[in-house]
């Protein structure tokens, strides 16, 4: 059953948690079955494969290319040949600045504008749940996609890393060693933090999606905004505004590989994402509740 059919079927009933779950399930099914979404997930899954193969070819027999340092992507890459689990961290470091948020921007930008463009938005609002619940459902489906996309990268990297390289104890950025089980738990925690790092940008994309009736325009504007903010965040002369930009603390997840874990910048990142979600979520609600869906 499509989203519009689900809405019409519920038009004669009062809003209920079951109805909300039904439309959320319909929204998730529709989103995850779109060829565009599957193509995005396929590209994300391919990135760790390409990284793993490239590192394997470069090192030949799989021997370590040398010690690494710090917590950035190159340091993670230098550790991949010693432990395939590091391919998870390296793949997230490569995809987080561009590929992951770009995929989220496409899905978030199309969430409302795509329905308006297809002419199904008015049918979705026939149901008595109202615009607020529908908008929350749209946002929840985008957040689920954030998690799914991040897990696709992490699981693909874990499988490729285990296949091409040895796995075992993990050497943290602090130089201490932890067991493979704890390393795996930290990898899972990092994947969750990376997914949570995208909730602010997802709210921005949702807001942009309420401003236009063209899905393509909303997706292009959201991705363009991402690129612009990334450029601003890379200009040293604008360092005063950097801490207020949603991608500024994205790479703070590397602090979860320290022993003990450094939480300061991770907390700053999550707090900033929550602030963006509140501000742009409220703006999206204000715009959507006043939107003329008959146009």
- The answer to pTM > 0.85 is no
Task: Give the pLDDT confidence score for residue 10 in this predicted structure.
Answer: 45
Distance (Å, whole) CA 27 – CA 156? 25
Is it the case that residue 194 has pLDDT exceeding 90?
yes
> Pairing relation of β-strands 177-178 and 170-171?
antiparallel
Distance (Å, whole) CA 214 – CA 147? 26
Tens-digit pLDDT profile for residues 12-47: 444 555 556 777 787 788 888 888 889 999 999 999
**Mean pLDDT of the 100-125 span:** 74
- Domain limits, the chain: 3-8+16-289
Tens-digit pLDDT profile for residues 123-140: 555 555 577 888 888 899
Distances (CA, A) of 254 to 92, 119, 241: 10, 44, 22
Work out the mean pLDDT of the chain and round it to a whole number.
82
Task: Give the pLDDT confidence score for residue 259 in this predicted structure.
Answer: 84
* pLDDT band for position 70 (cuts 50, 70, 90): very low
Task: Give the pLDDT confidence score for residue 100 in this predicted structure.
Answer: 94
């Amino acid at each position: 059953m499509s989203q519009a059919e689900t809405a019409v079927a519920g038009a004669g009933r009062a809003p209920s948690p079951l109805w909300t779950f039904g439309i959320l399930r319909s929204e998730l099914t529709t989103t995850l079955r779109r060829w565009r979404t599957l193509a995005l997930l396929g590209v994300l899954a391919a990135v760790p494969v390409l990284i793993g193969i490239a590192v394997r070819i470069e090192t030949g027999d799989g021997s370590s290319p040398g010690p690494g340092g710090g917590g950035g992507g190159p340091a993670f890459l230098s550790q991949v040949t010693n432990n395939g689990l590091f391919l998870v961290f390296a793949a997230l470091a490569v995809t987080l600045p561009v590929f992951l948020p770009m995929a989220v921007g496409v899905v978030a930008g199309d969430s409302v504008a795509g329905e308006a463009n297809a002419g199904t938005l008015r049918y979705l609002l026939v149901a008595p749940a109202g615009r607020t619940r529908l908008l929350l459902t749209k946002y929840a489906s985008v957040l689920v996609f954030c998690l799914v996309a991040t897990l696709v990268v992490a699981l693909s990297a874990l499988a490729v890393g285990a296949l091409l390289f040895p796995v075992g104890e993990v050497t943290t950025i602090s130089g201490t060693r932890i067991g493979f089980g704890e390393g795996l738990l930290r990898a899972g925690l990092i994947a969750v933090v990376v997914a949570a790092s995208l909730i602010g940008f997802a709210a921005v994309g949702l807001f942009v999606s309420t401003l236009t009736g063209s899905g393509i325009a909303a997706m292009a504007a959201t991705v363009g905004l991402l690129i612009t903010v990334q450029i601003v965040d890379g200009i040293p002369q604008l360092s005063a505004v950097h801490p207020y930009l949603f991608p500024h603390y994205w790479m703070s997840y590397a602090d979860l590989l320290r022993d003990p874990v450094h939480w300061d910048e991770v907390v700053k990142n999550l707090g900033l994402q929550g602030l963006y979600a509140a501000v742009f979520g409220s703006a999206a609600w204000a715009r959507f509740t006043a939107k003329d869906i008959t146009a």
